[in-house]
Each structure stands twice: as structure tokens, then as C-alpha cells.
Amino acid sequence: MKDRYLAIILLLLFSPLVSAFDIVNPDAEQALIKDADLVNVGINSGVYIGLMNFENFNSSPMLAWYINYPFDEDLFVSAELGAALVNDSEYRNVGLPLLSEEEVVAGFYSVLLGYNVLPAEVYWRKGQALRADIYLLGGIGSITIDSEDYVALHAGVGLKIEPANGHSLRIEFRDRLINSDILGTDKLTNNTEIHLGIEWSF
């Protein structure tokens, strides 16, 4: 009888450990697999369209192609090549044209460093959430306006949404700082932009 009571007591004492071992191990392994699946270490490439608000000029459409290389799940480098329109119609209306033509194409290229600062979720349907990341951007590049080349510094913030494996959406707000002399004197101008992009992983 004593042996039976002793066996029952030992079973009660060690049963939580057995249960913990059975439950925690599979969950921990599953969590590690899920985390590994979420880390995208491949190269991403995409295009974006948006609006650039050139200081002292009108807001104009822009288009660019870019490629991202992630160093890890947080840090990545990005290179872009694109163009935007610059329009001086407001100045021409008062007899002060600033550009060779009323509308010129401004070509640009940039190298940016990005860092994912905050993971997020975007709820697009009841009970369904999409993985997302909020990131910061900074970098340097060049922009050519009416045959004149200008150095451009970048600072911005973006939101990356992953609706499907291998595809992502990006929304970015950026300030392109340009030391411009278009108005006759050197001035550091803030050229804000917003754009929406779609990218593919490979």
C-alpha cells in the first residue's frame, strides 16, 4: 500500500515536468521555424511611383527602379535610379522662366541605408493581419535638373507590407535635400516626396 501511495505522489510531483517537456519542446521548435521563415535574406527589386514636391516649384510625378540587399533581418542597403518632372509654369506666367523649358525631366540616382526599427501588422480583413515593418532611410545621391548636377541627401521613413510570399508593398515619405542655385543664390532646399512601390524577392 505504501509503495502505491509513494508511486502516486511521485507521479503527481513529476507530471508537470513531463507535461512541460512535451508541450514546450514542440512549440519552441515550431516558433524557431516560423521566425526563420519570416527572415528574408534574399535580394529585393522593385519599382515605385509617386509625387515629388520640388521646393519653389510645383509637385510633379516621379518613377524609379530600385534594388535592395539585406545584410540581416533589420539592416539593408538600397540603390535606386529614376526620374521626375520639374515645372516652372508659375514663374513663366509672370515672365520669369527659370528652366530652359516649361517642363524638364530630372534624372536621379541614390544609395541608401535602411534599418527596420519596428515590426508591425496591417489588418486588411477581419481576423487577418499582414506582416509589416517600419523602417528608416538615409543616404546620398545625385539629381540632374536642366543639365545641372546637384548632390542630394536623403532622410525618410517607410512602411513595408508583405501580402504574399515573394512580394511586398512599400510606402515611403522622404526628404531630398539639395543645395540648389536655380533661383540665383545657393540655398539648401527641402524636396519632399511620397511614393508607393511594389517589389519582388529573388
Which residues, at least 6 apart from 171, have a Cβ–Cβ distance to it below 8 Å?
Answer: 158, 159, 161, 194, 195, 196, 197
Q: Are 34 and 45 part of one and the same domain?
A: no
Q: Are 58 and 128 part of one and the same domain?
A: yes
Rounded to 5°, angle at Cα 42 from 159 and 173: 20
* pLDDT greater than 60 at residue 74: yes
Q: Is 15 helix (H, G, I), strand (E, B) or coil?
A: helix
How many domains, the chain?
A: 2
Q: Is 88 helix (H, G, I), strand (E, B) or coil?
A: coil
Q: Are 72 and 122 part of one and the same domain?
A: yes
The predicted pLDDT at position 41 comes to 58
Give the pLDDT band of residue 184 (cuts 50, 70, 90). confident
In 3D space, the residue among 180, 167, 178, 176 whose CA is nearest the CA of residue 194 turns out to be 176
Contact 68, 199 (CB under 8 A): yes
Give the pLDDT band of residue 162 (cuts 50, 70, 90). confident
Q: Are 98 and 5 part of one and the same domain?
A: no
* pLDDT greater than 80 at residue 39: no
* pLDDT greater than 80 at residue 120: no
Q: Are 116 and 167 part of one and the same domain?
A: yes
Weakest mean pLDDT among 140-144, 172-176, 177-181, 182-186: 182-186
Q: Tell me the pLDDT tens digit for each residue of 100-117.
A: 888 899 999 999 999 999
Give the pLDDT band of residue 16 (cuts 50, 70, 90). very low
Grid cell, residue 170, equals 512599400
Give the pLDDT band of residue 92 (cuts 50, 70, 90). confident
Q: Are 106 and 123 part of one and the same domain?
A: yes
The predicted pLDDT at position 9 comes to 47
Q: Are 106 and 12 part of one and the same domain?
A: no
**Could you give the C-alpha distances from 8 to 17, 18, 21, 24, in angstroms and in order?**
15, 15, 20, 24
* pLDDT greater than 50 at residue 170: yes
In 3D space, the residue among 135, 133, 138 whose CA is nearest the CA of residue 175 turns out to be 138
Q: Are 34 and 90 part of one and the same domain?
A: no
Is the pTM for the entire model greater than 0.75?
no
Weakest mean pLDDT among 29-33, 69-73, 123-127, 131-135: 29-33
Q: Are 16 and 48 part of one and the same domain?
A: no
Q: Are 116 and 55 part of one and the same domain?
A: yes
CATH number of the domain bearing residue 161: 2.40.160.20
Separation of alpha carbons 194 and 172, rounded Å: 6
Residue range of the domain that includes 64: 41-201
The predicted pLDDT at position 119 comes to 79
Q: Are 33 and 61 part of one and the same domain?
A: no
Q: Are 121 and 166 part of one and the same domain?
A: yes
Contact 143, 108 (CB under 8 A): yes
User: How many percent of the chain have pLDDT more than 90?
Assistant: 45
